Amino acid sequence: MEREEMLISLKKKLTPKRYVHSIGVEYTAACMAFLYGEDVQRARIAGLLHDNAKCISVEDKLNKARKHGLPISACEEENPDLLHGKLGAYYARKKYGVTDEGILSAITYHTTGKPDMTLLEKIIFVADFIEPNRKMLSELPEIRKEAMTDLDVCIRHILKRTLEYLKEKNVAIDDLTEKTYEFYKRG
C-alpha cells in the first residue's frame, strides 16, 4: 500500500492525537535510520503503522486477537492494551500489505521490546518513546540525547523508567518487558 493510502486508513482508525503521534514516530524513526544505517523506508513504514491497532476498544482487542488466533499471554489477558503490537502487526500484513518480517516484528514488539533486538526493532521501540509529540516526562531530554548517542543505553533507560512507572501504578508487568530490561541491563 502507498503511504497516502496508509494515511487515509490510519486517519479513520486512530484518534487525532494518535494519528499525529504515528507521523511523529515515522519521522523520528527515519532520522534514527539515517544515523544508524537502517533502511529509511522500512523505518518509516514501521513507525507509521506501529500503533494502527491502538484505538480498538479493550474488549475488541481481545476478541480480534482470539479470532485471528494470535497467542495471548496471561498478562495480555489482564491488560489487553498490550495486544496492540501483535494485532497491529497482523493488520500491517493483512490490510496494509506489509510482507517484510522485520517491519512486522518491530511493530509486534514495540511496547515491551524483546531481548537482543534488531536495529529496526530498537529504532521503533525508542522512536515511539521520544517522538516530539510525546508528553514531556522527567528524564525525556536525557533519553532523547541518548537515542542519538547510544541506543542500548537509551533502551535501558526507557525500560527502567517504564518499569518504575508500572510498579508505581501497580499493574502487571509483562514477562517480555522484564526480560528485555534484564538483557539490556547486562549490556
CA atoms within a 13 Å half-sphere pointing along the CA-CB vector of 163? 18
Q: CB of 55: closest distance to ligand DGI in angstroms? A: 10
- Report the interface residues with ligand DGI, using CB under 6 A: 51, 54, 79, 82, 110-112, 128, 162, 166, 171-174, 177
Q: CB of 168: closest distance to ligand DGI in angstroms? A: 11
Report the C-alpha gap between 176 and 38 in whole angstroms: 24
Report the C-alpha gap between 170 and 54 in whole angstroms: 22
Q: CB of 163: closest distance to Fe ion in angstroms? A: 17
**Partner that binds at residue 148, options ligand DGI, Fe ion, none, CB closer than 5 to 8 Å by kind:** none
Q: CB of 106: closest distance to Fe ion in angstroms? A: 11
Of 13 and 187, nearer to Fe ion (C-beta) is 13
**Partner that binds at residue 166, options ligand DGI, Fe ion, none, CB closer than 5 to 8 Å by kind:** ligand DGI
State how far the alpha carbon of 184 is from the alpha carbons of 60, 67, 82, in Å.
Answer: 33, 34, 21
Report the C-alpha gap between 41 and 54 in whole angstroms: 22
- Report the interface residues with Fe ion, using CB under 5 A: 51, 128
Amino acid at 30: A
**Partner that binds at residue 162, options Fe ion, ligand DGI, none, CB closer than 5 to 8 Å by kind:** ligand DGI
Strands (E), 61-166: none
